[in-house]
Structure 1
């Protein structure tokens, strides 16, 4: 019988992996939990490169995991920040229709939000100005429950709380090999460490598909990295935006469009767009990893996605390369803004799962051990798709992943 270093070993110290570790330690006292992170500190990628919005859940298909976990997670996130003294605000947000063609989609969005249990106030053009005097629109929705916080700080707090309950975070521990046996799993890291566990949990984000393959599982999808590029309003013009302002999203895509976000630091972030990144950690155009790019291009889902949505992609690419085009997109919401009012800010990379037929996975996706399916993969739990609003929903996602991991542990792997 294998001697375990950990009962459950989590790969990935982003906000989802750390929420999972925290949930495991809360659910079962004395459980030996380890977290592996390839970087020098947690929350270095998706968790630390986003707009910090606590999403209400208004966008997501009723009954979906995103709808359930976002609405539950938004309330839980605000309560968590309040309990632990983390900077946060709940300013609410506007979703604004700027053309007649968007009005039916705005009405459907209001109905969807109400089906998800969210309070939605419908606004006229005049009422929009009561909240955001510089914003133009034909009609809008007001969502009071939308908030902002620093998700990197939230994740570090998860890590601290989990450590206080006995969890061990190992940084600079990139996973290089996974050996599955009937009595356990051995993980080999780049630093030479060899760790044994009863159950392995894959929360590797941008590398979740690759880790699943490393463990011998075919995830049936690939992570395609999309870079989101942000601008900020200059300090002199930041007063143009009081809170959070979003366009009406295109229902064909899981991206919310260029929006305006006043963060907890008072700076107004503008963006992001969504362009294919040339590396999984491709935060800039000059960051190219030929092997990763070739892997993406070889995947049939990538080619089908490009054929289906090339017009949308060209528009995003144009806004990435042209500040004038990006400014024009912002002016739909904020007519008085000029290119001189916008300065380049940071970028983030979204780990978007794409199926072989080119479909963008719209919901959170888990694989591996399923307590309801005795034929499912044993000793492994995979989080294969957890883009936005995963940070908002991290507490309920963590509890779900922990539930699956503990069920796998109780089943003897």
Structure 2
């Protein structure tokens, strides 16, 4: 069936993006990120010495570094016609893997069946050890139509069917597909965003650019190169946006869990506070448990806001790069690229801002409850301290009265030598006087201080 669809210089490109350095990651994790990225290029040939040499090309302050220096690209061994092009874009590793079908003689200028794309995809996946881009990836199919009357849409559908993904895909069933123009050629976009319960790699993004047959093939190759230079950055912004939103969904789940736990603790606390005898030990346990929840709540809200800012910044950069692409050809139509930025603005940013509005009051409630409990504990401790002071004061007064009474009674009624003092009337009366005085004094002190 696909023999009727042919392209001149059929080429498949894969754009992969990996996080170079994540928020709060230590040196060991950064080294691991670097190693995983370069394994896509060198596989088992990558050793510590090679990794250390490659690390020297990186820079924290630059947004665009060719990581292989003047060499620029690492070419595939014969007989394949392809290359790796690794660059550093800010905090991200980007890798373009390009492979042109060379399965016939004079492959650069003669038509080939689009069946070659399935083989090209297998070649590329083998070359990168079947690894995914942690931030995302995009497949780009491009080539030149073989004849003037060849239908671009039917050809694009047949090309799309050649690619394999983790999920079944079908041109008619894939909801998100759009079309544009570039140098008289037709550009198609197909994408599937991962659902909330899926991994980022479960989604996919495909671009198909088919140039008309009347152009010279060398011109097509040159124009495609100018497009590839722009795409590697535009797609970086795109995947950074989707990745940040995917991370924000994980943070939202964390906030839901923290919110439920906090709500459970607060309900239990409310029940305890309604008891006439407040147990300070229970309140202190509450204060001991809540900092962990509060820290989790605070950190997740902070990270959620960080993801919001990441999306916002990358939407702005995406729009700028979109305008740069339109300047490559004044007659081009890349409207579908702007559609994505508008979608991200409304859907992604809107959802995160809604989440922030929903969860932020929970943090305030937790903080207020902690302050309230601290206040209650302080009051209860103050009550305890006052009771102790009252007790000491009243006992002191009672002892003083008992001592005075004892002295007076002993003077008036000296004890008999044959009788112990604590069995005499003087002792018993003095103790009784001291006890009564202590009780009266304790009540008076309590009433006065109250």
Q: TM-score range by the shorter chain?
A: under 0.3
Please state which structure has a larger fraction of its residues in helix: 2
With the length of structure 2 as denominator, give the TM-score of the two structures.
0.22
Please state which structure has a larger fraction of its residues in strand: 1
With the length of structure 1 as denominator, give the TM-score of the two structures.
0.23
Which has the bigger relative contact order, CA under 8 A and spacing at least 6?
A: 1
Answer with 1 or 2: which has the greater Rg: 2
